[in-house]
Homo-oligomer: A and B are copies of this chain.
Amino acid sequence: MRERPKIKDIAERAGVSVATVSRALSDSALVTAETRQRIHDLARELNYRPNVSARNLRTRRTMSVLLVVRDVGNPFYLDILKGVEATAREAGYSVLMGNTENDPARETEYFNMLRYGHADGMVLMTGKLPPSGGRNQLPVVVALEMIEGSGLPHVQVDNIAAARGAVEHLIGLGHRRIAHISGPVPEPMSLHRREGYREAMRNAGLDIPEAYEMRGDFLLESGQECCRSLFTLPEPPTALFVGNDEMAYGAVHELRRMGHDVPGDVSVVGFDDLYLSKAFYPPLTTVSQPRTEIGRTAMAMLLKILSGAEINREEPIVLPTVLNIRGSTAPPASNYCMSP
């Protein structure tokens, strides 16, 4: 037998044409059950494997999708990746990993991979977009990061409402001096979470001293640094609403280093509910996003687009968040407590 059998080999052995083999292998109804069986047996016997490149060329599809994130090393994406992968494979698709590292050139490159026919569609989790160029025609679904006015379908959470809920929790505990450490500005995700913070404060009639709004970059170290600045203020906050868990870890770490107890002296709320937030000390109160579900939904949406179905590109799909109240929040210490 030749190195690797092809349809032709099976056809010869079975005494039928390649067309029949192709049909039989794809379980077409246009083949007698009997021949179909015979061909299947023969295929197994010869250890036949279809050549995907040939099939792709012919069918003009690759049965694979691109999943593009800004940093594969970020644990935040894990469950999303998991959701995308699971949904993709259920539909027979493979997932190609893309990593932009915030480099617009790379992002363009991944769009080009779509155009090259490298993949059939893309789930995009970055905040920026290449210069356009007919990209709205491409099968792309944006997850998480809201790209304003992109015209691309997206699935996300309501960051404003979630943030507002988190801050309301702090206010409900009796906190009045609540500071915020935001993610990188002007990314929509950061802005929205900050907006939620502002809304909650405004609704409660609370002032936000300018120095209470710190800008971080979503990384642990910036959580530490921002926290340090906040606690050199003459009137430091009694509670922190931090833009993501990673910075919240940094903040708690720093608070401990400065001798403050969490939540005894300072309460901290995060955002994301990372993998380890429940094992953190103290277990972190944080907004939980349905990450796996986001992945699944985004991929399902992409599958729908790929199947040719019409979808509503304007109205984003918004998934619900939950505030997980754990050990890092408590009422303010009595000496800090002031009634309005």
| Interface of A toward B, CB cutoff 8 Å | 49-54, 56-57, 60, 62, 64, 67, 72-75, 78-79, 81-82, 85-86, 89, 94-97, 99, 112-113, 115-118, 220, 249-250, 252-253, 256, 275-276, 279-281
Contacts and interface: CB of A to CB of B under 8 A. Distances in A.
A95 B78 CA distance: 16
Nearest to A63: B118
Contact of A281 (B54, B75, B281): B281
A95 B74 CA distance: 17
Contact of A64 (B81, B82, B96, B220): B96
A81 B97 CA distance: 9
Nearest to A249: B279
21 contacts: A49-B115, A49-B116, A52-B116, A52-B118, A53-B60, A54-B57, A73-B79, A74-B78, A81-B97, A82-B99, A85-B99, A86-B99, A94-B97, A95-B97, A96-B97, A249-B279, A252-B279, A252-B281, A256-B281, A280-B281, A281-B281
A260 to B, nearest CB: 13
A287 B194 CA distance: 38
Number of copies: 2
Given A57-B53, A116-B50, A72 B62 contact: no
7 closest A-B pairs by CB: A53-B56, A281-B281, A53-B57, A249-B279, A73-B82, A75-B75, A49-B116
Contact of A72 (B49, B57, B82, B113): B82
A253 to B, nearest CB: 5
Contacts of A53: 53, 56-57, 60, 62, 117
Contacts of A72: 78, 81-82, 85
Contacts of A73: 78-79, 81-82
B75 A275 contact: yes
